[in-house]
Structure 1
């Protein structure tokens, strides 16, 4: 079977505060392909096609929920693994991976209403964009259309929650040691107030977001082979104990730690998480 070529593109400078990166998957074979996706806590916008037709057959989550998304869709943050199954054809997928609070900042969407799940282009003013992307003659033209659409949204000046932005910065800088109580002490808010604001902006509770980002960090450490034992990985990331790490590995990858360790070299690392074919 032909392999999938993944490429990561940095966002345009004007969108760097809202877009993490753009991941392009290019498959030239004719056999059915499945891509396993581990959660990252990040929302995204996905365009999938083959010569003007949808390429994605369906998405099935670990809990059994199934989606048959249109060629262009907006996805909320998820905290369970999923499998994306493509039709028996060559395809290209363009996945704009957003910063955690971009649904609120760019689209004015209460992110908790979209997590976990997806909406079609008619629900966020992108029907014209979907048609233009299908008619585009090159990847460069598609990227230009996507960029123009997002820049137009950016210029609409939606309010930002700077407290949530700062909390995300602290989480990413101290993922191995930070706890929700540390954030509450820093911002002098009650747990209820902070959770409400964070969930509206990010789509996940602070605790859920911390868990999924710590899982991503654990995968990275396992992949680097800096530690010989899971207990060492757990200690490095300040898990309560190894059992908590094992629990999160199963929850977020759908695999046992033993199987995950054997397949970790197949995980494709991107700036926002992991996927493997």
Structure 2
């Protein structure tokens, strides 16, 4: 299994967090992999064999070969049908919102073919070019040219969304939304609407995701496996609160997470 990340050109780093590639050899005994929410939106191109996306314990669909994965707030399972070769773009949520007219909440918890979001001819040309490119560097160049063609004006971020998002990130999701708004508490409903439009999830959900991610990275680093210490470091009310969030986003407890065969893929992303 080989996972690599690549940085975008500096004039696009407000839109794109990174590019990443994943290659996994064909296995005679493929296992379902549990994918964990990360608070970001991705566009993915399947260059290898098809990938199953389970809709229930024994039912699945095949993922589109060129798709946008919207915000997710619960884990889901995928399983390769053969050789895995993927090229993906990891967006900042507000960056992707600048590129499409669709409200991001409509993309949540599912994969959407790119020709549903962009003009069909443009989407088909992008898919063909990415899939038939010689290497990752060429794919990045192709995508960045596509991205620049969509950017007709400077990135504008709603001031209320930006200030709230900045505080959520700076506090690693530990500060409450009411605390962030303070005397502007009357704006909460307006903020909720703007977040689901531009980010794809509510500010409270995003805060929970960001805090959980930070705690998960510490757990995976091996620096601490003491759940009480981790809960305290990230300002959870107590250990049980941390475990509840962990189960909500992974489907299992922290102790069962480590060395779980179904979490090899997610562990690579978070490390």
Q: TM-score, normalization: structure 2?
A: 0.86
Q: 1:106 aligns with which of 79, 99, 105?
A: 99
Q: Would you say the 8 A contact 2:173–2:206 is kept in 1?
A: no
Partner SS, residue 98 of structure 2:
helix
> Are 1:251 and 2:254 an aligned pair?
no
Per the TM alignment, residue 234 of structure 1 is displaced from its structure 2 partner at its CA by 1.0
Q: Would you say the 8 A contact 1:10–1:21 is kept in 2?
A: yes
In structure 1, distance between residues paired with 2:80 and 2:232: 39
In structure 2, distance between residues paired with 1:157 and 1:65: 43
Q: Cα gap change, 1:166/1:234 in structure 2, threshold over 3 Å: closer, same or farther?
A: same
Partner SS, residue 232 of structure 1:
helix
Q: Would you say the 8 A contact 1:18–1:106 is kept in 2?
A: no
Q: 1:41 aligns with which of 39, 54, 57?
A: 39
Which consecutive residues of structure 1, in runs of 5 or more, have no partner in the other structure?
Answer: none
Provide the residue aligned with 1:95 in structure 2: 88
Q: Would you say the 8 A contact 1:103–1:110 is kept in 2?
A: no
Per the TM alignment, residue 101 of structure 1 is displaced from its structure 2 partner at its CA by 1.8
Per the TM alignment, residue 67 of structure 1 is displaced from its structure 2 partner at its CA by 4.0
Which consecutive residues of structure 2, in runs of 5 or more, have no partner in the other structure?
Answer: none
Partner SS, residue 39 of structure 1:
coil
In structure 1, distance between residues paired with 2:33 and 2:152: 35
In structure 2, distance between residues paired with 1:66 and 1:212: 26
Partner SS, residue 77 of structure 1:
coil
Q: 1:120 aligns with which of 113, 117, 120?
A: 113
Q: TM-score, normalization: structure 1?
A: 0.85
Per the TM alignment, residue 61 of structure 1 is displaced from its structure 2 partner at its CA by 5.9
Per the TM alignment, residue 138 of structure 1 is displaced from its structure 2 partner at its CA by 2.8
TM-align CA RMSD: 2.6
Q: Cα gap change, 1:211/1:68 in structure 2, threshold over 3 Å: closer, same or farther?
A: same
Per the TM alignment, residue 121 of structure 1 is displaced from its structure 2 partner at its CA by 2.2
